[in-house]
Structure 1
């Protein structure tokens, strides 16, 4: 099965061996996305809502680079470091998915950088075989 790597313009080098997105058989898989700036430093330290917005904007850029929109997102995996941030994360999340919501799960866990409060990975169905 052919696949295409999706890297939005201006994307910095990842901190591990992965790409921002992979498109195969009409489906876009967006890697776990953390609230990183271009130098892979955590942004908006201590602010779960701002970190969530940054993460979802980054995911949006991957989806749009592949030719889709956030309406094409069908599933999200959400990782948070503390349940006390759940409400703030959901408020921002709802802004990015105002209509029918994607399926999702949310778990509390440790993340790769201690100042990161949220990480999200997504799946989008773009309905065409190649990018």
Structure 2
């Protein structure tokens, strides 16, 4: 099965050996995305809603580069640092997925940078 690396222009270099996304058989697998700027610094420190919006905009851009949209997302993996941010994350998430929401799970974890409050990985069929 041939696969294609999805690397949108302006994407910061990954912190580890991975790529932002891969596409195989019209399925796009988006790596866990955090609210990073172009230098891998966390943005919107202390604001879970703003970080969630940043993450979903980044995923939206990655999917556009792969020929898709957020409407193509079938599954999201959501990781949050603190359950206290769950309501804020869900409020923004609902704006991006208002209809025909994808399946998902949400777990509390430690994230790669302590200022990061949310990470989302996605699967989309384009």
What interval of TM-score do these two structures reach, taking the shorter chain for normalisation? over 0.9
* Per-residue CA distance 1:54-103 (angstroms, 9 max, x = gap): 00000000100001010000000000010000000001001111111000
2:100 counterpart of 1:100: yes
What is the alpha-carbon distance in structure 2 between the residues aligned to residue 50 and residue 76 of structure 1?
A: 18
What is the alpha-carbon distance in structure 1 between the residues aligned to residue 35 and residue 11 of structure 2?
A: 13
Question: How much is the aligned-residue C-alpha RMSD, in angstroms?
Answer: 0.5
State the Cα distance separating 1:25 from its structure 2 match. Answer: 1.1
**Which position in structure 2 is the counterpart of 1:112?**
112
Runs of 4+ in 1 over 3 A off after TM superposition: none
Q: How many residues align?
A: 126
TM-score of the pair, normalised by structure 1: 0.95
Unaligned runs of 5+ in 1: 127-131
Unaligned runs of 5+ in 2: none
**Which position in structure 2 is the counterpart of 1:64?**
64
TM-score of the pair, normalised by structure 2: 0.99
Q: Partner of 1:86: helix, strand, or coil?
A: helix
**Which position in structure 2 is the counterpart of 1:121?**
121
